[in-house]
Structure 1
Amino acid sequence: MKCVVICGPSGVGKGTLINMLLKDKGCGRLGFSVSHTTRKPRPAGEVDGVHYNFITHEVMEKLLKKSKFLEHARVHGNIYGTSFEAVEKVICDGKICILDIDVQGVRACRRSKLEAAYVFIAPPSIAELERRLTGRGTESEEQVTKRLRNAIGELQDSHQPGLFDFVIVNDDLQKAFRQVQTSSSSLEPSPSSSSLLS
């Protein structure tokens, strides 16, 4: 079973790069694992079941108690998680599964021995990341400050030996995309019968 695990601070451009991967026919058969989150959809058109599976804290806690998640994390006052079901759905379609998770999730996937290319997307600088977060206008000043504080920790973690296979600086979108393409180019989809639980 093969996956591409993409990680990086909020606002670094992970979503844009993932969308480019999914649309690029040269990347082969790729599929996106839709994560669960307890946060509300952003007003800019996030769709339930497409961008995230939006659920309540109560439902999420129940699913966690039933061990339904490959990884989960409590971030910015919300819970995010990747369910076994979401990943297996992509793999059973004969596709390489793309996961968009945070550093805590990466550690959980490493512990679970998930076979994947682990890619960290970094901003050119914290100042540029702040500009991007402020520019998208979806968070309050307090939320931006919290995300920047978390980003500094994530950037430090990205240099931890053995955690990431690739660290890509997104200072030029097309250049970063080519590097992400390269990081996933050696992966092959697993047989559709593969299971995370086997």
Structure 2
Amino acid sequence: MTKGLVVILSGASSVGKGDIRDLLLQDKDLKLFYSISETTRPQRPNEVDGKDYYFVTHKEFAESVRNKELLEYTEFNGYYYGTPKQQVEFLQSKGKNVLIEVEAQGVGPIKLNMPDSLAFFVMPENLEQLEKQINELYKDDQASAQRRINKAKMDMELAPLFNNIVSNEDAKKAAAQIKEVILNELKKRK
């Protein structure tokens, strides 16, 4: 059985990765399975444990880090997020293609563990548009908006480290570009 392909989706903070992720996961040609992250962030009312995230305590997260059970992890706004290694390796061993959505700094550790993975960085159409979008989303919390803008700028500085950079002027076009690269990679592996 051929090992599944690991696809890493990253990008600037608030750039619309979620919309692109959803389009890729819905695409029957790609047969992607989503890697669910572990987080210490409180569960929101519309979220389902084990579907949106694995919601864990800080102590449980620390144990995952200590036991090297995460491919990567990061902290944002006082909460930790990480990619469970066992889940990705299990799906991959069953020939399943796995989509991992991570912060830009998380790609390096994954690529070290899985050098044949494909990594995509999603860029905003332009910085002014992204700032406007973030300010609109967080209009009631300027401090959060500014943190996200600063984070987006730092994320974009890491973009040159990615083999595949996609502009998100339109989520469907961005997803189509990513799909093309994935399908070409899958053809090469047959």
**TM class, shorter-chain normalised?**
0.7 to 0.9
Query: One-letter code of the match for 2:84?
Result: S
Alignment of 1:119-158 (within 5 A): 119-137=120-138, 140-158=141-159
Alignment pair present for 1:12 and 2:9: no
**Contact 1:35/1:82, CA 8 A, preserved across alignment:** yes
From 153, 177, 180, the equivalent of 1:179 is: 177
Identify the residue that residue 100 of structure 1 maps to in structure 2: 101
CA deviation map 1:94-152 (0-9, x unaligned): 31110101122111112224321110001112222233334445983211211110110
What is the aligned partner in structure 2 of residue 23 from structure 1? 26
**2:74 counterpart residue number:** 73
Change (3 A) 1:85 1:58: same
Pair 1:34 & 2:57 matched: no
Measure the CA separation in 2 of the matches of 1:128 and 1:88: 38
Do 1:42 and 1:138's aligned partners in 2 also have CA atoms closer than 8 Å? no
Query: In structure 1, how many angstroms separate the alpha carbons of the residues matched to 2:43 and 2:34?
Result: 18
Question: After superposition, what is the alpha-carbon deviation per residue over 1:17-51, rounded to whole angstroms, capped at 9, x for unaligned?
Answer: 11111111232x211100111112345x2322112
| Unmatched runs of 5 consecutive residues or more in structure 2 | none
Structure 1 unaligned regions, length at least 5: 190-198
The answer on whether the counterparts of 1:4 and 1:96 sit within 8 Å (CA) in structure 2 is yes
- Tell me the TM-score normalised to structure 1 length: 0.84
Contact 2:13 2:155 in 1 (8 A): no
Match in the other structure for 1:192: none
- Contact 1:119–1:167 at 8 Å: present in 2 too? yes
- With structure 2 as the length reference, what TM-score do the two structures score? 0.87
User: Which consecutive aligned stretches of 4+ in structure 1 deviate over 4 angstroms post-superposition?
Assistant: none
Aligned length: 184
Structure with more helix by fraction: 2
What is the aligned-residue identity percentage? 29
Q: Is 2:167 the partner of 1:169?
A: yes
Q: Is the 8 A contact 1:7 1:100 kept in 2?
A: yes
